[in-house]
A and B are shown apart, each in its own frame.
Chain A
């Protein structure tokens, strides 16, 4: 049971480049989330999904797009990277229970120069 995995672990982009971050979970969870964490700050929700084929905006969605074509995968896309998107990105998943217990991946450290 790998839990939540994220690919890649590190990435450096130039301004204007695009990339996709992949999140995969093997726990059959319905809900998945993408967060970003800037140095010394808490996590901010970018987008989330409550099921296959559905996505919704979180607190800071601008500049990002997501897709949930398969239940186990949640993709985060940056179409035109900006230095302000330099951050650590965490993916999480949770079962469809009333509580808010989320399982997090190890993170992707992205630097945009």
Chain B
């Protein structure tokens, strides 16, 4: 299984930038790195994905170093509504059963 390690929890304040790092030492050549957000009583929601270097969309940025053994999700200027659990997932679709979500990082944004 493509195993990932993330911090269990993080705290931040409104307006700050938050960086959540995921470790995936046994990432395979074909694996993509995908991040999801989950609010209580809801299913996870796709945030961003990447293969290497940097990816940015309207919600977040994803930084992936050259060795791809870790990745960092960056959330700019967080608000209270960004309080959620964030999951890092490593894998690729045609190997669907080989990846796990792990326990995620609980981000709490304070006023």
- Which residues from chain A sit less than 8 Å from chain B, CB to CB? 4, 31, 33, 35, 40-45, 48, 50, 56-59, 90, 92, 94-107
A-binding segment of B20-28, B40-48, B66-74: B40-48
Neighbouring B residues of A104 by C-beta, 8 Å: 43-45
> Are the C-beta atoms of B97 and A99 separated by less than 8 Å?
no
Give, as a whole number of angstroms, the nearest-CB distance from A10 to chain B: 11
> Are the C-beta atoms of A59 and B100 separated by less than 8 Å?
yes
Other A-B pairs beyond A94-B96, A100-B90, A101-B34, 4, CB < 8 Å: A31-B96, A35-B101, A59-B97, A94-B93
Decide: A58 near B101, CB < 8 A? Known: A42-B87, A105-B43. Answer: no
Contact with A along B74-111 (1 / 0, CB 8 A): 00000000000001011111101101111110000000
Neighbouring B residues of A43 by C-beta, 8 Å: 44, 87, 101
10 residue pairs of the A-B complex, CB under 8 angstroms, read A31-B93, A41-B103, A45-B100, A50-B96, A56-B96, A90-B44, A92-B43, A94-B93, A98-B94, A104-B44
A-B pairs under 8 A by CB, number: 76
Neighbouring A residues of B61 by C-beta, 8 Å: none
> Are the C-beta atoms of B46 and A102 separated by less than 8 Å?
yes
Report the bound CA distance from A31 to B92 in whole Å: 12
Classify chain B's interface size: 20 to 34
Give, as a whole number of angstroms, the nearest-CB distance from A52 to chain B: 15
Decide: A107 near B43, CB < 8 A? Known: A98-B94, A100-B32, A101-B49. Answer: yes
Indicate which residue in B41, B90, B91, B93 contacts A107 across the interface (CB closer than 8 Å). Answer: B41
> Are the C-beta atoms of A98 and B43 separated by less than 8 Å?
no
> Are the C-beta atoms of A103 and B46 separated by less than 8 Å?
yes
Give, as a whole number of angstroms, the nearest-CB distance from B83 to chain A: 16
> Are the C-beta atoms of A56 and B100 separated by less than 8 Å?
no
Instruction: In the A-B complex, list the 10 residue pairs whose CB atoms are closest, starting with the nearest.
Output: A104-B43, A42-B101, A43-B101, A42-B103, A99-B32, A100-B34, A90-B43, A42-B102, A101-B46, A100-B91
